[in-house]
């Protein structure tokens, strides 16, 4: 009979495999990559707070109208930064999906434990301005990184610098999702 490992173990195994396969880059990563990854990670860590507010309110994680608004705003900001609006939309959509991955994972853990952590909870109206500020910074840092996306070393740079930001399997998987399209490898 087939035995499927528990989700945290499966995520840890997958994460370790991905990290191990990321060979050391032959050339140094551009200076623009680390600030971009730090901002992506900072945005991703806010998902913990969003999950708490949704746990408390009972609101669904999926908010299609809000997501569409955030992506439309990113497309407008992209034009100002001379970034392809469709690429910016893909980048922000990846951030949203990664954030939802964390939210679903955390809420599933809390449901299994029958409780969420006892920590202070901001309300979504306090969190959204921070997310908006991060999006502005993220798009500028992405614009700075765009010339390096097609470099053959990009996947190795990304794997190497991303690995230092991973705090657990769930956030690691989400970070991989959030950065999945940063490098363009099929030119």
Sequence ranges of the domains in the chain: 30-179
pLDDT (0 to 100) of residue 18:
45
pLDDT (0 to 100) of residue 125:
87
Please state, in angstroms and rounded to a whole number, the distance separating the CA atoms of residues 178 and 186: 19
Please state, in angstroms and rounded to a whole number, the distance separating the CA atoms of residues 66 and 84: 22
pLDDT (0 to 100) of residue 26:
72
Interior CA angle at 144 toward 138 and 150, to 5°? Answer: 110
Q: Which residues of the chain have pLDDT under 70?
A: 1-25, 187
Tell which CATH architecture fits domain 30-179. Answer: Up-down Bundle (1.20)
pLDDT (0 to 100) of residue 187:
54
pTM: 0.83
């Amino acid at each position: 009979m087939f035995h499927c490992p528990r989700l945290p173990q499966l995520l840890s195994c997958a994460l370790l495999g991905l990290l191990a396969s990321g060979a050391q880059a032959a050339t140094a990563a551009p200076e623009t990559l680390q600030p971009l990854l730090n901002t992506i990670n900072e945005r991703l860590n806010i998902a913990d707070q969003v999950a708490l507010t949704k746990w408390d309110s009972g609101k669904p994680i999926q908010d299609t109208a809000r997501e569409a608004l955030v992506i439309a705003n990113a497309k407008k900001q992209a034009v100002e930064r001379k970034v392809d609006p469709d690429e910016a939309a893909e980048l922000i959509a990846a951030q949203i999906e990664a954030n939802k991955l964390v939210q679903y994972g955390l809420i599933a853990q809390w449901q299994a434990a029958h409780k969420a952590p006892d920590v202070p909870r901001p309300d979504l109206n306090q969190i959204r301005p921070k997310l908006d500020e991060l999006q502005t910074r993220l798009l500028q840092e992405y614009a700075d990184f765009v010339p390096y996306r097609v470099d053959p070393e990009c996947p190795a740079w990304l794997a190497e610098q991303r690995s230092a930001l991973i705090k657990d399997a769930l956030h690691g998987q989400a970070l991989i999702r959030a950065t999945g399209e940063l490098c363009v490898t099929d030119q």
